[in-house]
Amino acid sequence: MRPGGRIPECMRTFILVSLLLTAATLSCAETRHELALTLGRLASNDRGALTAGSGTGLQANYGIRLAANSTAGLYFESHFLASPHREVASAAPQAIRDFASLYVTPGLRVKFVPAARLSPWVAAGGGYGLFEHSRELQDGSPSTVARSQSHFVFHFGGGLDLRLNRFLSARFEVRDFFTASPLYNVPSVSGRQHNVVAGGGLILSWGE
């Protein structure tokens, strides 16, 4: 998790899932499919006694169209987000220094005017979340906090797809992942937190 250290578990999982997802779907063309790869930025999060800093969000999204007409299209999607490093700023010496995140959230997406060049959409889903905590605390002492923490994630968001040609589009999106709090090791910080990420990237589409 620290710069120059080993690749975090969430990053290795993100890479593996992306490769498996691509290999499993490229030969399937009986309906419309979308594979989006986007780069985003997680906003910082003020939790009172501490602040979870911003971080890079590496995202992959696979969608398959279930139904469509000229007004809207309904897609099933699986969304993956990995954030390898978010700094924690706190005056509490026992707080963790940083954490990494992984979210895997299947759900549904509604795309409006899907045949148009510009198509807005909204999405929601839920699934698995994983935090990986630093090995050191703010004061530099070894952490006794559990290294990893699994939890349920609910996510929702929206965006805009810009069709460039039949097979390639650009995507701009904002998603909010509503999760448990990482194990910050500060008693006054608990409950759930919002993790908002804004980003953009490209979509590869195939099928009918």
Q: Cα 16–197–121 angle (5° rounding)?
A: 90
Amino acid code (one letter) for 74: L
What's the rounded mean pLDDT across residues 89-109?
96
Q: Could you identify the residue written with the tokens 């993956």? A: 80
The per-residue pLDDT for 11 is 56
Instruction: Tell me the one-letter amino acid at 8.
Output: P
Give the C-alpha separation, 137 to 124, whole Å: 35
Confidence (pLDDT) at 5 = 44
pLDDT per residue as tens digits for the range 114-147: 999 999 999 999 999 999 999 999 999 999 999 9
What is the domain-level CATH number for residue 106? 2.40.160.20
| 3 assigned to some structural domain | no
How confident is residue 161, by pLDDT bands cut at 50, 70 and 90? Answer: very high
Query: 73: number of CA atoms within 13 Å, CB side?
Result: 23
The stretch 72-98 carries a mean pLDDT of: 96
144 assigned to some structural domain: yes
Considering the domain boundaries, does residue 2 fall inside one? no
d(CA 35, CA 202): 8
Q: Which helix (H) or strand (E) holds 9?
A: helix 9-25
Q: Quick check: 168 pLDDT over 70?
A: yes
Rounded to the nearest angstrom, the gap between the alpha carbon of residue 151 and the centroid of all alpha carbons in its chain is: 14
SS3 15: helix
Q: Report the Cα–Cα distance between both ends of the chain, in Å, rounded.
A: 42
Give pLDDT tens digits for 16-69: 665 555 555 554 546 899 999 999 999 999 999 999 999 999 999 999 999 999
Average pLDDT in the 161-179 region? Answer: 97
Residue keyed to tokens 């992959």: 60
Dihedral through CA 25, CA 26, CA 30, CA 35, nearest 10? 70
Q: Look at residues 121, 125, 207 and name the one whose alpha carbon lies nearest to residue 162.
A: 121
124, part of any domain: yes
Share of the chain above pLDDT 90, in %: 82
How far is residue 104's CA from residue 96's CA, in Å, rounded to a whole number?
24
Determine, yes or no, domain membership for 134: yes
Q: What pLDDT does residue 86 have? A: 97
> Number of folded domains in the chain?
1
Count the neighbouring beta carbons within 10 Å of the beta carbon of residue 47.
18
**Cα–Cα distance measured from residue 188 to residue 173, given in angstroms and rounded to the nearest whole number:** 33
d(CA 191, CA 47) in angstroms, rounded, equals 10
Asked whether the predicted pLDDT for residue 13 surpasses 50, the reply is: yes
Q: Which domain holds residue 173?
A: 9-206
Asked whether residue 1 is assigned to any structural domain, the reply reads no
pLDDT on residue 9: 59
Average pLDDT, the chain: 90
102: in domain: yes
Give me the pLDDT at residue 6, please: 47
